[in-house]
Structure 1
Amino acid sequence: MNLRKWMTLFGTTILMGGAASLVTGIAMLLCDSSFRVVKTGDDWLFNVLMMALAGLTFGAFAHMGFFAYLMLNYIARSIFKRPYLWVALQGFVAVFVLIEIAYWTYDSDFPAVTFWAVPAALAAASAAVSWWKVKETTAGAWVPTLFYMVAVTTIEAMPGFQSGKITSLVFSLVPLFVCNGYQILRLHRILEKPKSAPVAAGAN
């Protein structure tokens, strides 16, 4: 990981966040014309602009969380002498976070279906990303990817869970998930060493 690759990943991540927020926000605006990122009155164009800017912020925040996870993973692998212990802990935490989401949203200001719909959707989408990661790398990437997509995304979307508004939760959770999925699926490609060119026959 050099500076050029890091800057490229950072730039594409915040752009992904802006695009995902724009698509999510416009979809929500079509379903509910009163949806606003900030109080902008009837100025829908300014509201759309604020959606995109909020998405850029989500992308930057997701990038910070990504490198925080990489650092945590590096430290944990040096602490746990047996790798399967760290993998098992990540699996346990991922399940625990899904249960906690159900607990946070049950009998709250969120719609009644939120307490099971959000954990189920997050688990299914995270499993899909994990399957994709395993397909492109190794089977050992399944649990760490699932942990990252569930636990780290939930931590980053905490303000949305605390808002008590389903619109705020969806608007923050979806772009963060997209950014995190993009980063974890790009990581092995970034770290992949380029193949050395074959030596020409007869060269000294």
Structure 2
Amino acid sequence: MNLRKWMTLFGTTILIGGLCSLVTGVVMLLCDSSFRVVKTEDWLFNIVMMALAGLSLGAFAHMGFFAYMMLNYIARSIIKRPYLWVALQGFIAAFVLVEIAYWTYGSAFPDALFWAAPLLLAVASIVVAWWKVKETTAGAWLPTLFFMIAVTTIEAVPGFRTEKWTSLLFTLVPLFVCNSFQIMRLHHILGKPKSKPAPVAAGAN
């Protein structure tokens, strides 16, 4: 990955974060007129702040993506058997889902969120992992699930701490979309073009 590709990925990610936050925020505002990003009744200012918050979430998602790439590189260098690192990622992903249920159970979140949040995150992550495997190899299953579940959850910790489902949704959805985009773009960025067969010389038998 060269600097130009990295900058393109970064710029696209933050734009996706801004757009996704804007759409999510407007939908939530239409469904709940009390939803606010900042404490003001000016809906236009709130919409602008939603987009700016989304740009920040996109940048945060890219930082998480870069951190995962570094972690993956270091882990593969230390753990000599690749399947152990892959299995560990699968275990951590499952543990994080249980941890989400633990965070939300008995909190100020709606009662149903303690099972709905991990379930929806798991289902959405499985869809992304299936898509990733379809475009790459079967070995991408667990690493993709780990990234989409564990890394996205770590990035969304501030949303969990608010104990408000609106804030959690506003944080989690853009992060998930940005991470989905990044993990699906990775193999396109790193992929090498197929070599073309050498042309046959004119008159050769």
Give the % identical residues. 77
Note the residue ranges of structure 1 that are not aligned, 5 or more in a row: none
Question: Aligned partner of 1:3: which letter?
Answer: L
What is the correspondence of 1:62-81 to structure 2 with a 5 Å cutoff? 62-81=61-80
The Cα offsets for residues 109-144 of structure 1, whole Å up to 9 and x where unpaired, read as 000011000000000000000000000000000000
The Cα offsets for residues 139-190 of structure 1, whole Å up to 9 and x where unpaired, read as 0000000000000000000000000111100000000000000000000000
1:89 is matched with 88
**TM-score, structure 2 normalization:** 0.96
1:38 is matched with 38
1:202: how far off?
2.8
SS at match of 2:152: helix
Question: Aligned partner of 1:162: which letter?
Answer: R
What is the CA RMSD across the aligned residues, in angstroms?
1.1
Mapped partners of 1:198, 1:44: distance in 2 = 60
What is the correspondence of 1:151-170 to structure 2 with a 5 Å cutoff? 151-170=150-169
1:198: how far off?
4.6
Mapped partners of 2:150, 2:105: distance in 1 = 19
What is the correspondence of 1:1-204 to structure 2 with a 5 Å cutoff? 1-41=1-41, 43-202=42-201
Question: Aligned partner of 2:97: which letter?
Answer: L
Note the residue ranges of structure 2 that are not aligned, 5 or more in a row: none
Question: Aligned partner of 2:55: which letter?
Answer: L
Question: Aligned partner of 1:93: which letter?
Answer: I
Mapped partners of 1:7, 1:18: distance in 2 = 17
